[in-house]
Amino acid sequence: MTEGLLTIGEFASFNIAIIVYFLGVRLNAVFPLLNSYNIPEPVSGGLLVASLALVVYLATGAEIGFSLAARDFLLLYFFTAIGLNAKFSDLAKGGKPLLILLVLTVGYMFVQNGIGTSIALAMGLPVGFGLLGGTISLVGGHGTAIAWGPTLAETYGVTGAVEIGAATATLGLIAASLLGGPIADILINKRGAKPAVAVHDETPVIGLEHDDEATATVTHTGLMRSLLWLNIAIGFGVGLQESLKLGIGLDLPLFVVCLFCGILLSNTVPAVFKKMTWPARSRSLAVISDLALGIFLTMSLMSLQLWTVAGLAGPMLIILAAQLVGAALFIVYVLFPVMGRDYEAAVLGAGFAGFALGATPTAIANMTAVTKQYGAATRAFLILPLVSAFFVDLSNAAIIWLFLGG
């Protein structure tokens, strides 16, 4: 292999991701510690492949990359399925926990930026450097880091902001994938949050129960029905995103708009066409959603270019270590007690670790790993995506501007 960049094509990348997922399944079976700490299979397999790519880079100088177009579309399927599963009646029932989680999340975003900026200022670094170690790269992820990077570099004196932000987001994603399971284990087994009856289900409907027996079987018609309505919701989402951008200048991430369109369709179409078979909370929709999440997260982890984090400055590594400790303490001593100290709160803790340091799909994967072992947590799966994928993106920009002094 010669020095340079080797990019694997879309078809091969997609199928390699499936193989890597099963590699993760095998790793979790061979090393029970991974399962006992609720490490998702995509994380086990994906991080191993990313580590092997790092070894190749160090040995030969060759950078291995994967085409991620399929991954990005799977993200739309996953979030749209969450939208189709959401009912206004459930949102009304979970309104108070949803509001509490939203307040806690916004409060934590201030804490996260406070940790980053205070350490940066103590080291004589710009505020923007601390924000790169805060909600820009962690809660915000790679997209937000890349979007804010040029502004921080040109206006706020953060040299190499784009590269530092992307590397920070990469380490944050790894930390998020590894922290959620152990946090849940502590809350469940050492702080009394274990469910009264453990329910083991290898194919949960992303934490949501079935409506009736008729929806518990996967059929080709059920799969096609689910795919059709997912695609319709995504089509509406694309149109709505463009309309908002052209009409009022609001540029929301496409997956957020598709999530909203899924909610809207699922709460209007069945009410108008009462005899229509609707895919919400069906096993067929769950299969598509689980597949989308599994391959999305596998592709995300296996495509991490770990050599890019080598250039992270010492101060950023200190900030990241502080953020990891801060997230764990916040979950155990603030979020868990406020959310009720029960099993649902423990599952929310695993999910909160996922998106506070990484991304919403990581949060869902963390929660799914926990519920596979201990049982369903319907409320947690309902409210966390709405907070992490919808409200957080809307409030993050305002909080960042506030810390930058407007």
- What six digits make up the tokens of 100? 């509490």
Q: In the beta sheet, which residues pair with residue 283?
A: none
- What six digits make up the tokens of 79? 């979030």
pLDDT at 94: 61
> Are the C-beta atoms of residues 13 and 70 closer than 8 Å to each other?
yes
Task: List C-alpha distances in Å: 131 to 108, 113, 190, 343.
Answer: 14, 6, 34, 33
Full-model pTM: 0.81
pLDDT at 209: 46
Class of residue 6 by CB neighbours under 10 A (exposed 0-12, middle 13-18, buried 19+): middle
Task: List C-alpha distances in Å: 136 to 107, 132, 256, 396.
Answer: 15, 5, 18, 8
Q: Which candidate, 128, 294, 277, places its Cα nearest to that of 202?
A: 294
3-class secondary-structure state, position 5:
strand
**CA dihedral for 43, 136, 352, 71, sign (positive or negative):** negative
Class of residue 240 by CB neighbours under 10 A (exposed 0-12, middle 13-18, buried 19+): middle
Q: What single string gives the DSSP state of each residue in 219-288?
A: -HHHHHHHHHHHHHHHHHHHHHHHHHHHHH-----HHHHHHHHHHHHHTTHHHHSTTS---TT-HHHHHH
Q: Hey, what's the torsion of the CAs at 335, 116, 353, 402, to 10 degrees? A: 70
pLDDT at 78: 86
> Are the C-beta atoms of residues 84 and 284 closer than 8 Å to each other?
no
Class of residue 318 by CB neighbours under 10 A (exposed 0-12, middle 13-18, buried 19+): middle
pLDDT at 5: 80
Residue 393 CB: number of other CB atoms within 10 A? 19
Below-50 pLDDT ranges, the chain: 1-2, 199-205, 207-215
What single-letter DSSP state applies at residue 9? P
pLDDT at 212: 46
The separation between CA 23 and the C-alpha centre of its own chain, rounded to angstroms, equals 21
Report the first-to-last Cα separation within the chain, whole angstroms: 50
Please state, in angstroms and rounded to a whole number, the distance separating the CA atoms of residues 396 and 36: 34
